[in-house]
Amino acid sequence: MRLSRRNLLLGGSAALAAARTTSALAFDGPIRDIVEDSDAFRAASAAYVFGYPLVTMELTRRVITNSATVEGTRGPMGTLIKLRSYPDASFRDVTAPNADTLYTTAFLDVGDEPWVVSIPDMKGRYFLLPFLSGWTDVFQVPGSRTTGTGAQTFLVTGPGWSGTVPDGMTQLKSPTSMVWMLGRIYCTGTPEDYAEVHALQDQFKLYPLSAEGKDYMPPPGKVDPSIDMKTPVRDQVNALGTAEYFSLLAELMKRNPPAAADAPALETFKEIGLVPGQAYDAKALDKRWDKRLPSLSFDRIMLHFEDSHGDIQNVNGWGYTTKAGLYGTNYLQRALVTAIGLGANRPQDAVYPTSLKDDHHRHYDGASQYVLRFPAGQLPPVKGFWSLTMYDEAMFFIANPLNRYSMSVRTNPVYEADGSLVIYIQNESPGSAKEANWLPAPKGRFNLMLRLYWPDENNPSIIDGSWVIPAVTKAG
């Protein structure tokens, strides 16, 4: 099962299924003697959950930057990666792709010196430029919502940096050396709009502070043949043995320190030899834990979907969270979002409700016809934009006669006489009179994702639950 940062919140049932099929709860042997009355085992499992985001970010960084030049979604460290078009139904690189924004991204190491990020005047176009720490927290989000759309220059600094910020630059303080910039620019997908967005992307600048005032050309990257470029990152992380996992985590924490609020947890982790700033000593580990501790700990992460204590909402068949981007000491939620939604935005920037079943809790199937009705005045309340995207059972786009993968205001749907909006979700055309409101479905199972960018925080709002997503109903 392939999951990416974009298919955050497939609903509780899907996540639970993923957990069960991954390791069947790992109760495959006499583990009671390992777990029962073992404070050390509990501390090790908590440490595994705690470190899951940082380890995942590192393996993601290795895969994305393991390239000599920019090629598609990959490029060397400190190099801008600019996606130029939306994927079509043949695209299989990443699950749950979007057809709303074009990405401009880069991985940075700001531990030795700051990096400069310069963006052009976006001319009122919606965009956001979240910066993620090594622990997956979105520590800054320049963009339409926060800083406006004018030309801006930022200095991204690492932990402990105390230099002088040059005039005209705004400092963005990263708590870790590792930084992932995940910029998104709204685009309608027409040839004319593609050209406009490409021109904006080409005006982005990225360079180390030491290159200020110079003509800077990013050096070519180095390809490491030992890096696994085929196995999904999540599977690579989950395959690490306990000692290997904690050794990597300890090494990463040297340049990506935990937050001050993590001190109580870190005190507990000393019991298993995990101390920030120090190499890991595997002698503190029980050798019987090597495979079972990672498996059991990952199940704890995935089962947080079912017993999330409010971290995950399920409303009218739609599953979503408004607790992403900033996590504090909620380590289980942070690890869960990492596992199935790496790179998630703060809820003020985007919420991604996803639905697998209709209002009668039956899986969607193209053999039936469905309707999603937004009453007059009750469209998704956003200051950015919203879209409803169709995916097949594997979370990929579906070939259809209209080449339409999502519905939104920009697709020019026709409103009912009373002002309501009805979207027809089915395999065959509902007829020419309704085709403007048709979201084509496959013949088999499918899933739906409703993206809300820059949700309105005034009543009604999805963030506080005062706006309720309508259920998708089966026609007839």
Q: Give 67-211's CATH code, choosing from 3.40.50.1110, 2.160.10.10, 2.60.40.1610, 3.40.50.300.
A: 2.60.40.1610
Cα separation, 405 vs 39, whole angstroms: 50
CA distances from 29 to 33, 73, 279, 286, 287 (A): 10, 41, 31, 16, 15
Residue 34 has pLDDT above 90, yes or no: no
Looking up tokens 């050096």, which residue turns up? Answer: 219
Residue 21 has pLDDT above 80, yes or no: no
Residue 408 main-chain phi, psi, to 5 deg: -165, 180
| Pair of tokens at residue 387 | 């879209």
Number of neighbouring beta carbons within 10 Å of residue 78: 19
Report pLDDT for 257. 97
pLDDT digits (tens, 9 = 90+) for 252-279: 999 999 999 999 999 999 999 999 999 9
| Pair of tokens at residue 447 | 């899933």
This prediction has a pTM of 0.90
Per the CB < 8 A criterion, the answer to whether 183 and 152 are in contact is: no
Of the candidates 403, 419, 401, the residue with the CA atom closest to the CA atom of residue 411: 403
Residue 247 has pLDDT above 50, yes or no: yes
Report pLDDT for 26. 39
Q: DSSP label at 363?
A: B
Judge if 67-211 and 356-474 fold alike in CATH terms: no
Q: Give 356-474's CATH code, choosing from 3.40.50.2300, 3.40.640.10, 3.30.70.1140, 2.60.120.1600.
A: 2.60.120.1600
| Pair of tokens at residue 179 | 């930084």
Residue 44 has pLDDT above 70, yes or no: yes
Per the CB < 8 A criterion, the answer to whether 146 and 267 are in contact is: no
In the chain the first and final C-alpha atoms are separated, in Å, by 33
Q: DSSP label at 408?
A: -
Per the CB < 8 A criterion, the answer to whether 130 and 138 are in contact is: yes
Number of neighbouring beta carbons within 10 Å of residue 318: 24
Instruction: Give me the residue spans of the domains in the chain.
Output: 5-62+230-341, 67-211, 356-474
pLDDT digits (tens, 9 = 90+) for 358-390: 888 899 999 999 999 999 999 999 999 999 999
